Structures are given as structure tokens and as C-alpha cells.
Chain A
Amino acid sequence: MIDFGFALTPSATLQIDNLDNKLFEQLRNIEPDVAKCMACGSCTASCSAGNYTELNLRKVILSLQRGREQDTLNSLKSCMLCGKCNIVCPRGINTRHLILSICKVYNI
């Protein structure tokens, strides 16, 4: 290919039409409370690891819903399972358990 000195970047738009939701549905089956998330960000605000790494549980959940898990899944490796997010979640989601389930379903 001729190098013109510039390249097209892939589209930033979330294409929802061709979304493959199988893994997320699998996750919802074993962790139904994931649907209760209202994206308040308490988990992220309280996260010890999040202060020093890219970990953001709110974003992880959202990226799974939008089929963009590749954007965030790696960040879960920083989680120390301290469970602080579990204490602060206003919807009572067992976030610590949810993280373990995500790792199982998405094979991390």
C-alpha cells in the first residue's frame, strides 16, 4: 500500500445494531443484579485500585452492555477484591461477586 502519511482511524461510533450480546446475557443469567446498575459511579469513587489504575467498574459494566468489553476488561486485573465497592453500591449489587463472575464469563 502507498503510504500517504496519514491513516483513517476506526469509527468511534458505537454500532448497536450488530451487537453480540451472548456473553452479557450469560453474565445476566448468573448475575441478574448487573441489570440494576444505574451508573452512579459510587463503586468507581470508592475504588482503591481506581486511584492508581484505569479500573472503573461503572465503565466495565457499561462496556459489556455495549459490546465493547475489549476497551475495559483488562483493567479488571487491577482489582484487589477489597470489596469497598460492594459496601457503597446503593442498589445493593454484590459487585465483588459480579467482578468474579465477569472474569469467569469473559475468561480473564
Chain B
Amino acid sequence: MKENVVIIGGGPSGIEAARRIRNFGYTPILIEKELRLGGHLAQWDRLFPEGVYAKEVLQTLLSDMDGIKWFTDVQILTINRLKDTYVIKLTNGISVQSKAVLITTGFQLFQAEKKEEYGYGIYNHVITNADLERYFQNRKDSRIDDPKVIGFVHCVGSRDEKAGNRQCSKVCCATAVKQACEIKQLYPDATVYCFYMDLRMFGRRYEDMYLEAQQKYGIRFIRGRVSEVSENHEGRLVVKAEDTLFGRPLRLSMDLLVLMSGIVSSHQSQELAKMIKLPVGEDGFFLPQNTILEPCKSQKQGIFFAGACTGPKTIPESLSEARAAAVAINDYFNTMTE
């Protein structure tokens, strides 16, 4: 009999893990809370550093789903362990059993309205990175009206203890630089500013992207965190920051401000952690057994992790981890039968 493997979360990590687990000869059962598979990837237009379309990546992942069972629009009611088997009750009335459970509950974006001083939801021309990706996808957003001056605020709700998130979200620097270049492609006459604390261009070719932003697109980088945003009588945004390299306060008005919402642990991860008593770090992300040697194993037998549920990750990193988790699960079944 083929063993079941329950995968919680149908984002890129969950989908890729399901494919690999199937290739090992198991029956993956993928559980997704939204109406369709794809997670955040489905909401994104293009991916750094080369600008590959997220849609194409997702289509490739979803083109090979034979032998995978999946449920969408479904959440988990309870998880109980009987000997070495987990019994998982779903909101659609179905109950599934599996000796291995893979958690791929990913992340959620920081709610930008919590940083009230940036005026998201208050001023009409303040949007988030996710809003901008949606705009890139469908070119519809009443808040974006032929902007002449555009600003990007890095680290919104990340590296911010007061916002409850000390961690760096890792991927927003590269995303901001990518989006700055993309909006400059759409509005070549606009002046585009990036307000950053540090630019963390950690991946291969990311530094090239930064250089291209400076040279080809003329993006203006200002080192300093935006302290407050207001609106003037013309309805334009007025942004205050310190130019820390100059050592002087700086003020400028803008037509569009994009907040780079950081990555925080997902609501589903928090629920699961409570349900099966899995340890999480101070940042809310799951703690694996060993962050260096066993990043895919949890501290509980038969429970595994992949993707951004253990911290911010790029898409290729999440996909690699999904494959690693498939190997770890296969090893787990092999040691059980020995």
C-alpha cells in the first residue's frame, strides 16, 4: 500500500514537495486554504533577478500534478496522533491519515496599516509592494495616476522591534530594486527614489540588478528610514527622512509611495504551532530540529518543514527546500520499515 503524505499549504513549496514525494512512490495529499493553488506566487507578476514571470513558474509547477490529491478552500480542524499516525480532520468533513506531515504554510506580509506614520489606508497614493505587483499584473489601480515622483520605503514592519518584527525579511531589498526598475519602465519620465537602511543584495546577480537600477534606470538611493508621511493641500504626499550619508533631514513631495511590507510568520503557522505544540522562535517562524543540518525536520517525529514557514526565503530556495523535505520524508519511511 502506498503511504499518504499530508502537505499543509499549496504554495510553491507545497506543490513542488508534492511532486517530488509522488516521484518517490507516495501519495501526496495537498491542503490549501485559498480557492486555488499557488500561494503568494500567484499574486506576483515578475521575479527577481531576471524578471521571469511568476505565472510561467507556477504553470510549470502545476503542469505535472498526476498522482497528487489536493483540496482547496479547506482548513485544518484538528490534528491528533495515534501511535505513529497523524489523523487530520479537515473543514470539508474529510479526515486523512498519514505517518508524515509536511508543513509548507509559508508567510504573510506585514500589515502596512500598522505603521500608521506611513499612511497606508489613510492617504490615497500610498500602496504596498503587493498592491504594486497586482498593478503590474492588471494595470488597474486608481491610486496610481501617472506619477511623476515615486518613492519606495524599504523595511516596512521588518527590522522593527516596535512593530514586533526584529527580523530582516531578506527578499524585499531585491524586490524594491526590481519594482523600482519596473515602474521606471512604465513611467520613464518619473523620478524614482529608494529609501533604505542597508541594501541586502545577497543573491547571485542581485548586485547586478542594483547596478542596473543606478546606471540604466537612474534610481536615486537615499540611505535613511522614512520617519513620516503626510499629505499637502494639493493632495501630494510629503515624505520626511534623514539623508544619513549627508547627515541632514530631507523632505520631498511625491505622487506615489510604495511600502515594502516585510515578511512575517503566517497565521496558519501560528495556529498549527498551537495545535500540535511545535516550537516557534521569537519571530514566530517554526524552529527546525537543527538549522544547519536538518532544516526540514521539526522537533516532532513525522513532522517536516519546507519553504518560508521557517523564515523568509526566495522562490528557488523554497523549491530546493521542498525537494530536500521530500528526501527527508523518504528517509523517514525507509527507517520505519527497517
Q: Which of B27-35, B61-69, B213-221, B272-280 makes up part of the contact surface?
A: B213-221
0/1 per residue, B195-221, Cβ < 8 Å to A?
A: 000010000000000110011001011
Q: Are A62 and B214 neighbours in the complex by a CB distance under 8 Å?
A: no
Chain A residues, Cβ within 8 Å of B249? 12-14
Partner of A13, one of B210, B245, B248: B248
0/1 per residue, A21-52, Cβ < 8 Å to B?
A: 00000000000100110110000000000000
Residue B250, interface by CB 8 Å: yes
B215 (CB) vs chain A CBs: closest residue: A35
Question: Nearest Cβ in chain B — how far from A73, in angstroms?
Answer: 15
Q: Are B211 and A17 neighbours in the complex by a CB distance under 8 Å?
A: no
Known contacts being A32-B215, A39-B223, is A12 close to B245, with CB within 8 Å?
A: no
Chain B residues, Cβ within 8 Å of A96? none
Q: Are A16 and B245 neighbours in the complex by a CB distance under 8 Å?
A: no
Known contacts being A36-B214, A39-B223, is A58 close to B252, with CB within 8 Å?
A: no
Question: Nearest Cβ in chain A — how far from B91, in angstroms?
Answer: 51
Chain A stretch 38-92: residues in CB contact (< 8 A) with chain B = 38-39, 58-59, 62-63, 65-66, 68, 91
Question: Nearest Cβ in chain B — how far from A17, in angstroms?
Answer: 5
Q: Are B214 and A15 neighbours in the complex by a CB distance under 8 Å?
A: no
Chain A residues, Cβ within 8 Å of B211? 36, 91
Q: Are A66 and B246 neighbours in the complex by a CB distance under 8 Å?
A: yes
What number of A residues sit within 8 Å (CB to CB) of B? 19
State the CA gap A56–B214 with chains docked (Å). Answer: 21
Q: Are A16 and B252 neighbours in the complex by a CB distance under 8 Å?
A: yes
Known contacts being A15-B251, A17-B253, A39-B223, is A63 close to B246, with CB within 8 Å?
A: yes
Question: Nearest Cβ in chain A — how far from B193, in angstroms?
Answer: 8
Q: Are B251 and A12 neighbours in the complex by a CB distance under 8 Å?
A: no
Q: Are B214 and A35 neighbours in the complex by a CB distance under 8 Å?
A: yes
Residue B182, interface by CB 8 Å: no
Q: Are A14 and B215 neighbours in the complex by a CB distance under 8 Å?
A: no
State the CA gap A17–B221 with chains docked (Å). Answer: 16
Q: Are B243 and A14 neighbours in the complex by a CB distance under 8 Å?
A: yes
A25 (CB) vs chain B CBs: closest residue: B218
Q: Are B245 and A62 neighbours in the complex by a CB distance under 8 Å?
A: yes
Q: Are B250 and A36 neighbours in the complex by a CB distance under 8 Å?
A: no
State the CA gap A15–B249 with chains docked (Å). Answer: 9
Question: Nearest Cβ in chain B — how far from A5, in angstroms?
Answer: 27
Chain A residues, Cβ within 8 Å of B214? 35-36, 38
Question: Nearest Cβ in chain B — how far from A3, in angstroms?
Answer: 29
Chain A residues, Cβ within 8 Å of B248? 12-14
State the CA gap A59–B215 with chains docked (Å). Answer: 19
B219 (CB) vs chain A CBs: closest residue: A35
Chain B residues, Cβ within 8 Å of A14? 243, 246, 248-251
Q: Are A13 and B218 neighbours in the complex by a CB distance under 8 Å?
A: no
State the CA gap A16–B250 with chains docked (Å). Answer: 7
Q: A13-B249, A39-B223, A62-B243 are in contact. List 7 more A-B contacts (CB 8 A).
A: A13-B251, A16-B250, A16-B252, A35-B218, A36-B211, A38-B199, A38-B214
Q: List 20 A-B contacts (CB under 8 A).
A: A12-B248, A13-B249, A13-B250, A14-B248, A14-B249, A14-B250, A17-B252, A17-B253, A32-B215, A35-B214, A35-B215, A35-B218, A36-B211, A36-B215, A38-B199, A39-B223, A58-B245, A65-B220, A66-B243, A91-B211
Contacts from A to B (Cβ < 8 Å): 12-17, 32, 35-36, 38-39, 58-59, 62-63, 65-66, 68, 91
